[in-house]
Amino acid sequence: MAKSSSSSITVPRSAWLGRGRHLGPEAELDVRRNLLALKTARVIDDFLELDPIEAARSTDLFPRDESADPGPSARRLFEARWRVTGNVTVRAQLTTYEPESRRTDNESEVVWVLAAEAERAWEASWPSPATVFWPDSDRVAWDHDTVPGVRLRTTNYLPKDDGELRRLLRDCARQSWFIHVVVHEAMTPDALGRRPVTAFLPPSLKHRVIEHRATPEQALIADFAMKRELGVGLPRGGAVVLPPTPQSPDYAAERFTVGDVFLDGTEPTELLNKITEFASLPQPLQADAEQALTRLRQGWHLLTPDEELVHARAMVTRYAEALKAMTSSCDLYREAAESAHAALAEATSGSSTPRTPAPAASEEDASPLKTLTKTLSFFRRPDR
């Protein structure tokens, strides 16, 4: 897989994108089981599993270019289709990959990329595409970010070491596809307060946000590191939504900072509103995320019967137009060839060798006797 790089393009309003790591055994089996269960329960309309090579193959009926190829490290490709809010169709692809390097001792680690797109602007209240493919269970470790040591669906405590903390902030800003929030604990919370704030978010937003926690004694070091690396501060007992990379012109630190967050198990309404507002801003579309979205659009396989019929008709029309253009080109070529042959025949007077115009001759040279003498001398030359 290609490493992330920034792009001037923003994520379409209709798209949901995610990338993470599955650390448990048999990642594809977990996906397969979940899709089958949801189809049986009629939560999704249908799903499909493909070999990556087969998924990228181009045929006469389904021509595909290199944008449909998930790359040499791809393991499996899954597609699913479901409906939300009545008849709004969502199409999604999840591709599993071998990791680029073994950053952990877990030999079963698998990287996954998920791209989903709806027929209109995405709503946070819709089901999360992540839990269409992955079971929403703590027993399945699919929710690790590509940044080591960071997970969805839980609170991630910041490193104690200043260097490790700053490195983590840089990696989250540059590599992660998720929204990151840092919350400072003014005092050590009880069990209810240790529950992740992200649990209160609506379904589709819940799996786009990663929560970091700073312990009470980390107030100064976390605030300093965040100002140094990202240009935002962390209020004591408050929270801040970290800026994207590259930073959006719509982002302002004070706009997405909350002065007080009560970690007592109640819903932190102000912080949730800040996260929701941030998620509604145009988000930069990283290069590999753009590739995943292109594969979803250009390399889609799970067509309905009606869509297959429309596609077949479109291909028939396309080939008919191509045949018409080719026939027209052949006619033009034949006319040009006939004109060329006619011109050649005229130039050669029927012989195969073009005639060379003779220079103007004097009256003496033009006499029959002089011409005959020159011709005989030609045949008498010893070198002939």
Question: Residue 223 and residue 299: Cα distance in Å, rounded?
Answer: 45
Q: How many residues does the chain have?
A: 384
What region does 85 belong to: left with phi over 0, alpha with psi -120 to 50, or beta? Answer: left
100 closest CA partner among 149, 31, 146:
146
- pLDDT of residue 362 exceeding 60, the answer is no
Once rounded to an integer, what is the mean pLDDT over residues 214-236? Answer: 96
Question: Residue 337 and residue 341: Cα distance in Å, rounded?
Answer: 6
Q: Give the pLDDT score at 204.
A: 96
> In this structure, what token pair is assigned to residue 331?
């006619």
State the CB neighbour count (10 A cutoff) for residue 212. Answer: 22
pLDDT band at 112 (very low <50, low <70, confident <90, very high): very high
35 closest CA partner among 92, 74, 88, 87:
92
Higher pLDDT: 311 or 264? It is 264
User: What percent of the chain is modeled with pLDDT above 90?
Assistant: 68
Q: Give the pLDDT score at 255.
A: 96
Higher pLDDT: 157 or 321? It is 157
Q: Using CA of residue 142, residue 294, residue 174, residue 208, what is the dihedral sign?
A: negative
Report cis status (omega within 30 of 0) of the bond before 246. Answer: yes
Q: Where are the beta strands (DSSP E) in 174-332?
A: 179-184, 209-214, 239-241, 257-258
- pLDDT of residue 342 exceeding 90, the answer is no
Contacts 24+ apart (CB under 8 A), 275-280: 275/179, 275/181, 275/201, 275/205, 275/209, 275/241, 276/124, 276/201, 276/202, 276/205, 278/179, 278/241, 278/251, 279/124, 279/179, 279/205, 279/208, 279/209
146 and 111 Cβ atoms separated by less than 8 Å: yes
State the CB neighbour count (10 A cutoff) for residue 352. Answer: 6
Tell me which amino acid residue 197 is: V
Q: Using CA of residue 19, residue 23, residue 27, residue 30, what is the dihedral sign?
A: negative
- pLDDT of residue 384 exceeding 50, the answer is no
Once rounded to an integer, what is the mean pLDDT over residues 80-107? Answer: 86
Once rounded to an integer, what is the mean pLDDT over residues 216-241? Answer: 96
pLDDT band at 178 (very low <50, low <70, confident <90, very high): very high
> What's the pTM value of the predicted model, to 2 decimals?
0.80
Once rounded to an integer, what is the mean pLDDT over residues 317-323? Answer: 70
Q: Give the pLDDT score at 102.
A: 54
- pLDDT of residue 325 exceeding 80, the answer is no
Mean pLDDT lowest among 99-113, 141-155, 295-309: 99-113
Question: Residue 203 and residue 127: Cα distance in Å, rounded?
Answer: 6
Q: Tell me the β-bridge partners of 286.
A: none
Q: Give the pLDDT score at 354.
A: 52
Q: Give the pLDDT score at 149.
A: 95
Higher pLDDT: 189 or 374? It is 189
Q: Compute the mean pLDDT over every residue in the chain, rounded to the nearest whole number.
A: 87
- pLDDT of residue 320 exceeding 90, the answer is no
What is the Cα 70 distance to its own chain's centre? 9
Higher pLDDT: 214 or 306? It is 214
Question: Residue 70 and residue 81: Cα distance in Å, rounded?
Answer: 19
81 closest CA partner among 312, 301, 289:
301
3-state secondary structure of 276: helix
